[in-house]
Amino acid sequence: DVKVTQSSRYLVKRTGEKVFLECVQDMDHENMFWYRQDPGLGLRLIYFSYDVKMKEKGDIPEGYSVSREKKERFSLILESASTNQTSMYLCASSFMGGQYGYTFGSGTRLTVV
């Protein structure tokens, strides 16, 4: 069964900590994405990547960075976590051209205290 795996389902971090959210896909997809999901705001794109070592800013990149050193892995980094980054984070991947849509991971619910 093809999968997008996010390393943690739940995380609790302190304000100011550096936080790493990891995502791995086993479908040989070129494209990978990070979204955050908040009630009433839908899915908002943070960063995406079309290739190894390549990244593009999405709609809300402030306070985040990403790393894609290998095709199958896309990491989201919160440089200095803040309480307004408490959210559900979703990773997704797709083939180049995206014809078949995204495959999503199960999500990481991050709480910053």
Partner 1 sequence: GQQLNQSPQSMFIQEGEDVSMNCTSSSIFNTWLWYKQDPGEGPVLLIALYKAGELTSNGRLTAQFGITRKDSFLNISASIPSDVGIYFCAGPSNTGNQFYFGTGTSLTVIP
Place of tokens 């559900």: 88
Q: Which of 111, 91, 95 is closest to 43 using CA atoms? A: 91
CB of 112 to partner 1, least distance (A): 19
Distance CA 28, CA 71 (A): 7
Residue 45 touching partner 1 (CB under 8 A)? yes
| Alpha-carbon gap, residue 70 to 90, rounded angstroms | 19
The stretch among 13-21, 66-74, 76-84, 95-103 that binds partner 1 (CB under 8 A) is 95-103
Give residues in contact with partner 1 (CB under 8 A). Answer: 4, 31, 33, 40-43, 45, 48, 50, 58-59, 90, 92, 94, 96-107, 109
